């Protein structure tokens, strides 16, 4: 069976993903292009008994003059001689309702000499706009086979498959004549790079920085260009103008514009409402409200099932495997880590359901549009809004969704500040601490004081994240193009297939990539709390053996106290005591120190750890027992309550700012591909938490 390599190329928003999904179904793999965080989607399908196709979805671009990482990948995919997947055929997809701009890229690809199959998508939309094409004439003018498609209705797929077999180079003369350029330079470039296509020499000259990693080669190539007085910007502009002139002539001959029935399209009418000064903003708030509610309330059911399921599974495993360290490691290290991974899946799935849906119908472009100005003043982008808001549910999917931001610096700043948004894991910690801070009273008879403070914590997180973004913007030098030029695609009916495929893909990549790191750290934390310096546990065992032989307390109380002392004696307790001098200025003792260490697995572990330390009874949802024990504790030095107002406030602030989430760190590393930024995130958040707590504690003391 012969394998044909096909590259799928087209503008953004022309239905490329839909066509890819329809052609390949679930038979696709997503990975990263080497050295980038750009998704590389590769799929397979068969044409007939002798031919199968490996299709690569290259990121959408408007031209072969790349301006972002994504676009550079497409350029590499078509032009780099180091690319092992250099396509045999290019499947070009274009939006028929907006053909002029789409043809710019087509003429570039055709001039590179690739055999092209031309899928003309969204004919129904063009029809509604009153645009009619003479397909026969268009076909002969473009010199390739044109296939009208509708990925939504699976129309044209068989013809595409057949056309791939018979694809040929564009039979017309080049759309852009390179004869008008500096010939001696082109010849020199062609010889130097051993090329036979003149237009690819032109593109290499324009994108030299992208093609040579090797300093010596780049230097020599630059010398050739400099000797020939090569002027990059000017020539790019001239080429684009020349191509559009040609496209205008072709389109004038091959298309007709009927007076369309309704002059103002439905999409345009929707836009006047959705981008309206007051209504547009209210509608956006409503959308956020729905997403937020869904993540909080809908996700809680499957999360509960998963927790129950995992607990049941852990219990079973605990009984099947013989007791001892191995059993302990599997149940409390590996399985606990695994359940920490899968418990996030419902939130990720629900968040991405909304994000993909809104992206698919075209609403996301409007969100960026209406919020851009506000976010820009903080060094962010209109597209940062959704990731930030999602951070209130969970920073993990929120950071994953920051991928849509093209500007590298704005994307980075967004990722850096997302963990400051109060996520749902902080909720149990806040609830416990706030209940110790104020009794359940009502202000003016109806405002719940605890609820008010809780809301204050959320507001604090939001404001701090904007301020931090502003600081980052001041420190970082503006990188790359700092403009906002974005197509606003017409509103479309969503393709559910796309939505569900994306959800599947996001969950899969979370489980397999961030999951690895989470499980590893979980095992480490398990080891810290289950091992102790030599002899410590033995001493403890002996002590409790004695106590058990002459019981003064019930067996349950003894067991709880044993667990508490065991944690104190373990390495976690050891480290808790070790960091005590560092956290004492914040009003924290070594018990809180242990909780700070263990809650690195997940913030809500704070409550569980405190319960173990104070050997309190009851599960995590019942705070009354642990609350009482903490309130009653007396500081042996001051003879005042250990948990004074100052300590609780300081602890609250610490949990609001500190980077205590290994999943977030793992996902930040995955998305930034940079250890430097991941560590910076850890350190700046920890420093912010430390200093703020220090201030609060000393102010209230």
Partner 1 sequence: MKLSALAKGIEAVIVSIEDEDLSVKLYEMGCLPGEKVKVENIAPFGDPIAITVSGYKLCIRKQEATSVLIKLDISEGN
CB of 156 to partner 1, least distance (A): 22
**Closest of 661, 662, 657 to residue 690, by C-alpha:** 657
The residue among 100 and 153 lying less far from partner 1, judged by its C-beta, is: 100
Rounded Cα distance between 52 and 46, Å, is 4
CB of 139 to partner 1, least distance (A): 21
CB of 411 to partner 1, least distance (A): 18
Return all residues near 675 (Cβ < 8 A) that are at least 6 apart: 669
Q: Which residues bind partner 1 (CB under 8 A)?
A: 62-63, 65, 67, 97-98, 100-101, 104, 129, 233-234, 236-237, 240-241, 244, 268, 271-272, 275-278, 280-281, 365, 368-370, 372-374, 481, 483-490
Rounded (10°) CA dihedral 63, 68, 70, 76: 60
Rounded (10°) CA dihedral 372, 376, 380, 383: 10
The residue among 240 and 303 lying less far from partner 1, judged by its C-beta, is: 240
CB of 278 to partner 1, least distance (A): 8
Rounded Cα distance between 649 and 697, Å, is 7
The residue among 12 and 302 lying less far from partner 1, judged by its C-beta, is: 12
CB of 255 to partner 1, least distance (A): 11
CB of 199 to partner 1, least distance (A): 16
**Closest of 73, 98, 104 to residue 7, by C-alpha:** 73
Q: Name the DSSP class of 252.
A: H
CB of 370 to partner 1, least distance (A): 5
Rounded Cα distance between 520 and 68, Å, is 34
CB of 129 to partner 1, least distance (A): 8
**Closest of 25, 93, 87, 79 to residue 54, by C-alpha:** 87
The residue among 213 and 276 lying less far from partner 1, judged by its C-beta, is: 276
**Closest of 152, 170, 195 to residue 90, by C-alpha:** 170
Residue with tokens 């791939």: 164
CB of 369 to partner 1, least distance (A): 5
The residue among 105 and 160 lying less far from partner 1, judged by its C-beta, is: 105
The residue among 104 and 147 lying less far from partner 1, judged by its C-beta, is: 104
CB of 266 to partner 1, least distance (A): 13
Residue 79 corresponds to which tokens in the numbers above?
Answer: 């032009």
The residue among 234 and 474 lying less far from partner 1, judged by its C-beta, is: 234
Backbone angles phi, psi at 170, to 5 degrees: -55, 130
The residue among 27 and 282 lying less far from partner 1, judged by its C-beta, is: 282
Residue 625 corresponds to which tokens in the numbers above?
Answer: 């027992």
Rounded Cα distance between 385 and 391, Å, is 10
Residues 410, 484: contact at Cβ < 8 Å?
Answer: no
CB of 65 to partner 1, least distance (A): 6
The residue among 240 and 645 lying less far from partner 1, judged by its C-beta, is: 240
Handedness of CA 131, 136, 138, 144 (dihedral sign): positive
Residue with tokens 């790349």: 66
Give me the helices (H) in 133-265, please: 135-142, 157-166, 183-193, 198-206, 208-211, 215-227, 232-254
Question: Strand, coil or helix: what is 164?
Answer: helix
Give me the helices (H) in 377-422, please: 385-390, 395-401, 408-417
CB of 481 to partner 1, least distance (A): 7
Q: Are strands 89-95 and 116-121 parallel, antiparallel or unpaired?
A: parallel
Return all residues near 27 (Cβ < 8 A) that are at least 6 apart: 43, 44, 45
The residue among 97 and 678 lying less far from partner 1, judged by its C-beta, is: 97
The residue among 274 and 393 lying less far from partner 1, judged by its C-beta, is: 274
The residue among 75 and 430 lying less far from partner 1, judged by its C-beta, is: 75
Backbone angles phi, psi at 207, to 5 degrees: -115, 35
Return all residues near 336 (Cβ < 8 A) that are at least 6 apart: 314, 522, 526
The residue among 233 and 676 lying less far from partner 1, judged by its C-beta, is: 233
Residue 247 burial by CB count (10 A; 0-12/13-18/19+): exposed, middle or buried? buried
CB of 234 to partner 1, least distance (A): 8
Residue 266 corresponds to which tokens in the numbers above?
Answer: 């439905």
């Amino acid at each position: 069976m012969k394998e044909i390599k096909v590259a799928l190329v087209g503008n953004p928003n022309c239905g490329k993903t839909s066509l890819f999904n329809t052609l390949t179904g679930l038979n696709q793999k997503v990975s990263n292009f080497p050295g980038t965080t750009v998704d590389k989607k590769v799929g397979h399908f068969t044409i007939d008994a002798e031919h199968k196709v490996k299709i690569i979805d290259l990121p959408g671009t408007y031209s072969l003059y790349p301006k972002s990482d994504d676009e550079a990948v497409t350029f590499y995919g078509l032009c780099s001689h180091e690319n092992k997947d250099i396509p045999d055929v290019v499947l070009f997809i274009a939006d028929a309702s907006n053909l002029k701009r789409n043809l710019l890229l087509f003429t570039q690809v055709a001039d590179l000499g690739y055999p092209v199959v031309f899928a003309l998508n969204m004919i129904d939309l063009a029809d509604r706009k009153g645009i009619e094409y003479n397909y026969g004439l268009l076909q002969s003018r473009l010199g390739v086979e044109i296939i009208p498609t509708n990925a939504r209705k699976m129309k044209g797929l068989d013809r595409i498959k057949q056309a791939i077999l018979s694809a040929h180079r564009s039979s017309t003369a080049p759309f852009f004549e390179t004869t008008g350029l500096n010939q001696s330079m082109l010849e020199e470039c062609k010889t130097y790079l051993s090329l036979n296509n003149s237009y690819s020499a032109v593109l290499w000259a324009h994108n030299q920085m992208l093609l040579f990693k090797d300093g010596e080669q780049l230097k020599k190539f630059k010398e050739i260009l400099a000797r020939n007085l090569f002027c990059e910007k000017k020539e790019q502009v001239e080429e684009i103008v020349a191509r559009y002139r040609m496209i205008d002539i072709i389109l004038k001959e091959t298309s007709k514009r009927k007076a369309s029935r309704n002059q103002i399209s439905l999409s345009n009418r929707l836009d006047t409402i959705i981008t309206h000064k007051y209504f547009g903003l209210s509608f956006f708030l409503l959308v956020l409200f729905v997403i937020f509610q869904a993540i909080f309330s809908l996700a809680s059911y499957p999360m509960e099932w998963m927790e129950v399921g995992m607990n049941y599974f852990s219990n079973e495993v605990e009984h099947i495997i013989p007791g001892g360290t191995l059993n302990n490691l599997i149940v409390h290290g590996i399985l606990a880590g695994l359940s920490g991974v899968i418990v996030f899946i419902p939130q990720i799935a629900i968040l991405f359901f909304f994000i993909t849906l809104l992206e698919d119908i075209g609403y996301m472009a409007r969100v960026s549009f209406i919020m851009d100005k506000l976010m820009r003043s903080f060094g962010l982008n209109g597209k940062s809004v959704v990731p930030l808001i999602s951070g209130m549910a969970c920073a993990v999917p929120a950071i994953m969704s920051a991928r849509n931001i093209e500007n590298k610096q704005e994307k980075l700043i967004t990722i850096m500040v997302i963990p400051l948004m109060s996520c749902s894991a902080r909720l149990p910690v806040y609830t416990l601490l706030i209940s110790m801070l104020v009794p359940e009273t009502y202000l003016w008879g109806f405002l719940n004081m605890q609820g008010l403070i809780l809301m204050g914590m959320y507001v604090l997180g939001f404001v701090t994240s904007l301020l931090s973004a502003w600081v980052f913007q001041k420190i970082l030098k503006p990188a790359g193009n700092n403009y906002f030029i974005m197509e606003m695609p017409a509103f479309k009916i969503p393709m559910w297939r796309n939505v569900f495929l994306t959800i599947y893909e996001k969950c899969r990549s979370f489980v397999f990539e961030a999951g690895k790191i989470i499980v590893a750290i979980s095992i480490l934390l398990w080891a810290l709390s289950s091992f102790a310096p030599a002899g410590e546990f033995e001493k403890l065992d002996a002590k409790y053996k004695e106590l058990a032989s002459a019981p003064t307390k019930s067996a349950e109380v003894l067991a709880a106290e044993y667990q508490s002392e065991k944690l104190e004696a373990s390495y976690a307790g050891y480290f808790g005591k070790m960091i005590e001098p560092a956290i004492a200025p914040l009003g924290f003792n070594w018990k809180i120190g242990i909780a700070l260490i263990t809650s690195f697995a997940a913030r809500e572990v704070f409550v569980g750890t405190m319960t173990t330390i104070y050997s309190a009874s009851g599960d995590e949802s019942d705070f009354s027992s642990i609350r009482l024990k903490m309130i009653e504790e007396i500081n042996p030095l001051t003879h005042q309550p250990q948990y004074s107002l100052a300590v609780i406030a300081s602890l609250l602030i610490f949990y609001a700012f500190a980077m205590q989430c290994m999943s977030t760190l793992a996902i930040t590393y995955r998305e930034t591909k940079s250890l430097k930024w991941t560590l910076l995130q850890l350190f700046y958040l920890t420093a912010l938490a430390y200093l703020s707590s220090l201030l609060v504690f000393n102010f209230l003391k």
